[in-house]
Structure 1
Amino acid sequence: MSSNRLVGRSVHDLAAAIRNGDQSSLELVETTLDRIAAHDELNAFITVTDQSARERARKADAAAARGVDLGPLHGVPIAIKDLRSRKAGIRHTMGLAPLAENIAQTDSISVERLEAAGAVIVGTTNTPALGHTIKTDNRLLGATPTPYDRDRSAGGSSGGSSVALATGMADLATGSDIGGSLRVPAACCNVIGLKPTFGLVPERLPADGFSTHSPFFVGGPMARTAADTALMLDILAGRDDRDPFSVPRPDVNYVDATDRPADELSVAYSPNLGLQPISPAVRETVGAAVDDLAAAGATVDTVDVSLPSYEELSLAYVEQVGVFFSTFAQTIAEQYDIDFETADVEETVRSTIALGEDTTAVDERRHNIPRTAAYDGIQDALSGYDVLMTPTLTVPPYSKQLDEGYPNEINSESVMGVPTDMMLTWVFNLTGHPAASAPAGFSDDGLPIGVQIIGRRFGEADILSVVAALERARPWSAQYDE
Structure 2
Amino acid sequence: MDLTRASAKDTLDGLSNRQLSAADLMRATLDRISEVNAQVNAIVALRNEEDLMAEAQKADAAPARGPLHGLPIAVKDLVNVAGIASTQGSLIFKDYIPQADDLLAARLRAAGAILIGKTNTPEFGLGSHTFNPVYGATCNPYDSARSCGGSSGGAAVALATGMLALADGSDMMGSLRNPAAWNNVYGFRPSWGRVPSEPAGDSYLHQLSTLGPMARSPEDIGILLDVLSGPDPRVPLSVDHPKVSPVHAADLTDMRIGWLGDWGGAFPCEAGILKLCRDALDAFEGCGARVDTLAPPFDAELIWESWITLRSWSVATGLEPLAEHEGVFKDTARWELERGLAFSAMDVHRASVIRSDWYRRAAELFVDYDALVLPAAQVWPFEIEKPYPTEIEGQGMDTYHRWMQVVTPVSLLGLPCLGAPAGFGAAGLPMGLQIFGPRGSDARMLSMGAAYHAETQWPQKRPAL
**Both proteins in one fold, TM over 0.5:** yes
- How far apart in 1 are the matches of 2:295 and 2:416? 19
User: 1:423–1:43: structure 2 CA closer, same or farther, 3 Å change rule?
Assistant: farther
* Residue number in structure 2 paired with 1:401: 385
User: 1:209–1:367: structure 2 CA closer, same or farther, 3 Å change rule?
Assistant: closer
Q: Which amino acid aligns with 2:271?
A: P
Give 1:439-458 correspondences, 5 Å limit.
439-458=421-440
Of the three residues 291, 302, 307, the one matched with 1:317 is 307
- How far apart in 2 are the matches of 1:112 and 1:42? 28
Aligned with 1:285: secondary structure?
helix
* Residue number in structure 2 paired with 1:152: 146
User: 1:330–1:205: structure 2 CA closer, same or farther, 3 Å change rule?
Assistant: farther
**Cα RMSD, aligned residues only:** 2.0
> Contact 1:270/1:305 (CA < 8 Å) preserved in 2?
yes
**CA offsets 1:215-253 (integer angstroms, 9 cap, x no match):** 41110011111100011111111111122221122x3x4
Are residues 1:426 and 2:426 paired?
Answer: no
Of the three residues 103, 107, 119, the one matched with 2:97 is 103
Give 1:20-419 correspondences, 5 Å limit.
20-38=17-35, 39-51=37-49, 52-63=51-62, 68-83=63-78, 85-204=79-198, 206=200, 208-210=201-203, 213-249=205-241, 251=242, 253-263=243-253, 265-274=255-264, 275-310=266-301, 312-331=302-321, 333=322, 339-342=324-327, 344-401=328-385, 403=387, 405-410=388-393, 412-416=394-398, 418-419=400-401
> Contact 2:87/2:93 (CA < 8 Å) preserved in 1?
yes
> Contact 1:176/1:217 (CA < 8 Å) preserved in 2?
yes
> Contact 2:263/2:300 (CA < 8 Å) preserved in 1?
no
Q: Which amino acid aligns with 2:436?
A: I
Q: Which amino acid aligns with 1:236?
A: L
Q: CA deviation at 1:345?
A: 3.4
- How far apart in 2 are the matches of 1:298 and 1:267? 7
> Contact 1:158/1:181 (CA < 8 Å) preserved in 2?
yes
Q: CA deviation at 1:381?
A: 2.3
Q: CA deviation at 1:402?
A: 5.0
* Residue number in structure 2 paired with 1:476: 458
- How far apart in 2 are the matches of 1:423 and 1:147? 25
- How far apart in 1 are the matches of 2:395 and 2:455? 33
Q: Which amino acid aligns with 1:434?
A: P
- How far apart in 2 are the matches of 1:282 and 1:408? 15
Q: How many corresponding residue pairs?
A: 461
Q: Which amino acid aligns with 2:284?
A: L
> Contact 1:399/1:406 (CA < 8 Å) preserved in 2?
no
- How far apart in 1 are the matches of 2:172 and 2:300? 21
Q: Which amino acid aligns with 1:47?
A: A
> Contact 1:88/1:103 (CA < 8 Å) preserved in 2?
yes
Q: CA deviation at 1:414?
A: 4.6
TM-score, scaled relative to structure 2? 0.94
Aligned with 2:168: secondary structure?
strand
> Contact 2:94/2:134 (CA < 8 Å) preserved in 1?
yes
User: 1:214–1:389: structure 2 CA closer, same or farther, 3 Å change rule?
Assistant: same
- How far apart in 2 are the matches of 1:352 and 1:402? 20
- How far apart in 2 are the matches of 1:378 and 1:402? 35
Q: CA deviation at 1:314?
A: 1.5
**CA offsets 1:103-131 (integer angstroms, 9 cap, x no match):** 11221222222222221222111111111
Q: CA deviation at 1:58?
A: 1.2
Aligned with 1:453: secondary structure?
strand
- How far apart in 1 are the matches of 2:245 and 2:357? 33
> Contact 1:151/1:400 (CA < 8 Å) preserved in 2?
yes
TM-score, scaled relative to structure 1? 0.90
Q: Which amino acid aligns with 1:371?
A: R
- How far apart in 2 are the matches of 1:74 and 1:265? 37
Q: Which amino acid aligns with 1:318?
A: I
Q: CA deviation at 1:138?
A: 0.5
Q: CA deviation at 1:71?
A: 2.3
**CA offsets 1:5-63 (integer angstroms, 9 cap, x no match):** 241x2212111212222222112112212222222231212211244432331122112
User: 1:355–1:109: structure 2 CA closer, same or farther, 3 Å change rule?
Assistant: same
> Contact 2:3/2:28 (CA < 8 Å) preserved in 1?
yes
- How far apart in 1 are the matches of 2:122 and 2:184? 20
- How far apart in 2 are the matches of 1:265 and 1:309? 26
More displaced, 72-81 or 35-44? Answer: 35-44
> Contact 1:387/1:462 (CA < 8 Å) preserved in 2?
no
> Contact 2:223/2:246 (CA < 8 Å) preserved in 1?
no
- How far apart in 2 are the matches of 1:267 and 1:16? 34
